[in-house]
Structure 1
Amino acid sequence: MLQAVITVFLDSPTADLLRLLAVPVFAWAAYRDVATRRVPNWTWAPLALLALALLGWDAWTAWTASEFAWRRFLVPAAVSAGLVIPIAYLFWRTGGFGGADAKALMVIALLFPVYPVYLLPSGTLPLQATNIRVFSFTVLTNTVLFGLAAPLLLAARNAAAGRVSSVMFVGRPVAVGNIPETHGRLLDGPAGATRRGLDLDALRMYLRWRGIDFETLRSRADALRDPATLPDEPNPPTDGAVSAVPTDDPAASDNPLDGAADGATRDGAAEDSGGDSPEDADAFDDPWGAEAFLTDVDSAYGATAEDLRDGLDVLAAEDTVWVSPGIPFIVPMFVGLVVALTYGDVLFGLFALVGTV
């Protein structure tokens, strides 16, 4: 094993060895994405600078080597920059990717435009290449394949536990008491299962904006449906992260919700005024103050007033709800990168196995 590692470092191209620095960075980003659904923007800057430097290095090496080497470099590099980067941007603009997902794929496109070469005593990695040899596209197709496996694993886990539902391929049941620390999207609505539920980050934004905690929301739901109980001066909503504290508020404590439920409310109304029953909620012009919240914040992860009201109604009444964990795209991307660096292109390997290439 040690001999193989030494061989890789002695005989493999230096530029390709430097590209391996991406592996621990992507491992850390995948961990952060699972734990917090947040990856700092500065994560990608060093890799982007490294990618541009290595891209220039490879271009100069190919240009000075031969016309064949230049063309062998130029075609996959052009496809990587001209196809994979626009794909990442398009998916981000249409909501298919988060910002971190798009930045990660763009970095891959710049850092791995062509297949790297790692020499071992018994052969060369990656094992399975493709005809066009665009390595970033291999990482992308690997990522998609591994991402498609997640719903099957989730459904199998739910079925094994006897949890059968129309959303068992995309969600899992969560005790309502755990919702404040849960990432994902609510899959329950007043009329039953739904694929367009409230993003739980938007829920946390709403609670912080309103100055109440989740227990208060559930225990005083009838009163809080009345928009007259909204605070005169809303609190910073943060970005909805579980651990976020509104740092622009100099009076913020470790828990930004401490004591907030006893604050003043709009029109001088008291939050414990009794409120209306759930069946009378439609009598309000703006139940839960949903419109007021969405008007005041810049973005709430695509939530509409109806999404917010439906989500709050469900969370105020139920003890267990279905939540889509939303597998972070960087996780299968990390797996796809590691597999690409060792095995290579999984999809192309499958095609070769059945004799279609």
Structure 2
Amino acid sequence: MLDWLGTVLTESPPPDLLRLAAVPVFAWAAYRDVRTRRVPNATWLPLALLGIALLAWDVARVSAGDLPGGLVARERFYLRVALSLGMVGSIGYLFYYFGGFGGADAKALIVLAVLFPTFPTYYLPAASLPLTRTTVGVFSLTVLSNTVIVGAAYPVAVTLRNALSGHLAPIMFIGRPIRAEEATAEYGSLLQTPGGFTRRGLDLDALRMYLRWRGTTLTAVRENPERLRDPASLPDDPAPPGDGSIPESGELAVEGDDEATADGGRRGEAGGGGDAQAATGGGGDYDDPWGAGAFLDDIEGSAYGTTAEGLRDGLDVLAEADVVWISPGMPFIVPMFVALVVSLVYGDLFFELVSLLV
């Protein structure tokens, strides 16, 4: 064991050893992403600064001729750095810009592009890691392709689980069923509307924001749907919506619980609304059912891209259904962390699969 560790520490390039600091940071970020779907921005800045410093170190080494292969090797190094920063880094930004990634996912990929532009090398007594290398030689691209492969295994597992448990539906390949009353304890998106299945349903973070804003609970929505569908039942002084995250306790705390009515109606008599104004009987037609439009107009931001119609559809489903389908909501940083470890040890899975087929 000591011989193995001594070889790694004494024979491997120092910049590559320092790059291993990314592994525990990505492990922590993956854990945070699973538990809270929130990764602080401060997570990525130290890694980005480390990547810039190590890249400058590598450039100095290459410029000084400390790289086997002469001019050709130097040209390949600069090309690989350009591809990593220009292509992989841009992919992270563009996916975030067009809504394909969350902010943390994009930052993580950009950090990888800066920190691992080329393949690192870790010498063992009888081998060196990664065990395989690509001809392209852009390590951040290897991590990205491995992330796609690792991430693809999750929907397969979800599908098998649904099939084995007897939950057969057109949406079984991308979703899983839960009890409707438990929706506020889950991350992901609702995959249903009153008209059927959808790929772009209500974001459950936005649902928690809405419930907190109007000082009510999903239980109240299910017990009093007609009353809460009436916008006249909105509180006079809505609470801050928060960011939609699930508290560590797992319980959705509601601002002003001591003032809120049991069914989430107006607080007290201020504004003259009260029960008389809110009670219209079942089945009424409203300009703004559930107060969805008022919620989005009142809060700062867009509630994760939620529209008033999407919020209304989601509330209609959750108010009536016993079982609903939601997206698994697997954070992208989780397969990215697994892919980083696989890439450091083995190399590029996709490249090896293609090599076997050719």
Shared fold by TM > 0.5? Answer: yes
What is the CA distance between 1:209 and its match in structure 2?
Answer: 1.0
Instruction: Give 1:208-287 correspondences, 5 Å limit.
Output: 208-243=212-247, 255-262=254-261, 263-264=267-268, 268-271=272-275, 273-277=278-282, 279-280=283-284, 283-287=285-289
Distance 2:152 2:253 in 1: 39
Instruction: Please state if 1:129 is matched with 2:133.
Output: yes
Distance 1:2 1:265 in 2: 74
What is the CA distance between 1:70 and its match in structure 2?
Answer: 2.6
Distance 1:165 1:268 in 2: 48
Distance 1:76 1:320 in 2: 50
Instruction: Please state if 1:63 is matched with 2:63.
Output: yes
| Alignment match, 2:264 | none
Distance 1:88 1:25 in 2: 18
What is the CA distance between 1:268 and its match in structure 2?
Answer: 2.4
| Alignment match, 1:51 | 51
Q: Deviations over 1:1-22 (max 9, x none)?
A: 4432221112111110110010
Find 1:351's aligned residue among 341, 349, 354.
Answer: 354
What is the CA distance between 1:258 and its match in structure 2?
Answer: 1.5
Find 1:323's aligned residue among 298, 321, 326.
Answer: 326
What is the CA distance between 1:69 and its match in structure 2?
Answer: 4.2
Can you give the 5+ residue segments of structure 1 that lack an aligned partner in the other structure?
246-252
Matched residue of 2:64: which SS?
helix
Matched residue of 1:222: which SS?
helix
| Alignment match, 1:8 | 8
Can you give the 5+ residue segments of structure 2 that lack an aligned partner in the other structure?
262-266
What is the CA distance between 1:265 and its match in structure 2?
Answer: 7.3
Distance 2:270 2:337 in 1: 48
Contact 2:212 2:254 in 1 (8 A): no
Find 2:344's aligned residue among 341, 345, 357.
Answer: 341
Q: Deviations over 1:69-124 (max 9, x none)?
A: 43232111111011111111100001000000000000000000000000011111
| Alignment match, 1:293 | 295
Distance 1:308 1:265 in 2: 27
What is the CA distance between 1:132 and its match in structure 2?
Answer: 1.6
Letter of the structure 2 residue corresponding to residue 100 of structure 1: A
Instruction: Please state if 1:197 is matched with 2:201.
Output: yes
Going from structure 1 to structure 2, the CA distance change for 1:88 and 1:344 (only over 3 Å counts) comes to same
What is the CA distance between 1:212 and its match in structure 2?
Answer: 1.2
Letter of the structure 2 residue corresponding to residue 352 of structure 1: S
Distance 1:285 1:266 in 2: 23
Distance 2:84 2:268 in 1: 56
Q: Bigger shift: 287-296 or 267-276? A: 267-276
Matched residue of 1:321: which SS?
strand
| Alignment match, 2:308 | 305
Matched residue of 2:118: which SS?
coil
Distance 1:238 1:310 in 2: 22
Going from structure 1 to structure 2, the CA distance change for 1:266 and 1:314 (only over 3 Å counts) comes to farther
Q: Percent identity?
A: 54
Matched residue of 1:186: which SS?
coil
Contact 1:228 1:266 in 2 (8 A): no
| Alignment match, 1:90 | 94
Matched residue of 1:184: which SS?
coil
| Alignment match, 1:21 | 21
Distance 1:116 1:266 in 2: 66
Letter of the structure 2 residue corresponding to residue 276 of structure 1: G
Instruction: Please state if 1:38 is matched with 2:38.
Output: yes
What is the CA distance between 1:244 and its match in structure 2?
Answer: 8.6
Contact 2:240 2:255 in 1 (8 A): no
Letter of the structure 2 residue corresponding to residue 104 of structure 1: A
| Alignment match, 1:250 | none
Contact 1:173 1:323 in 2 (8 A): yes
Find 2:190's aligned residue among 186, 191, 200.
Answer: 186
Instruction: Please state if 1:110 is matched with 2:109.
Output: no
Going from structure 1 to structure 2, the CA distance change for 1:145 and 1:206 (only over 3 Å counts) comes to same
Matched residue of 1:322: which SS?
strand
Q: Deviations over 1:185-205 (max 9, x none)?
A: 011211222212100000011
Q: Deviations over 1:147-189 (max 9, x none)?
A: 1221111101111111111111111111123222111101121
Q: Deviations over 1:126-160 (max 9, x none)?
A: 11111120000000111111112211111011111
Letter of the structure 2 residue corresponding to residue 43 of structure 1: T
Distance 1:265 1:146 in 2: 56
Contact 1:231 1:264 in 2 (8 A): no
**TM-score normalised per structure 2:** 0.92
Segments ≥4 residues shifted beyond 6 Å = none
Distance 2:37 2:146 in 1: 22
Distance 1:204 1:268 in 2: 27
Contact 2:181 2:318 in 1 (8 A): no
What is the CA distance between 1:230 and its match in structure 2?
Answer: 1.1
Find 2:335's aligned residue among 332, 337, 345.
Answer: 332
Matched residue of 2:274: which SS?
coil
What is the CA distance between 1:67 and its match in structure 2?
Answer: 3.3
Counting matched residue pairs gives: 345
| Alignment match, 2:153 | 149
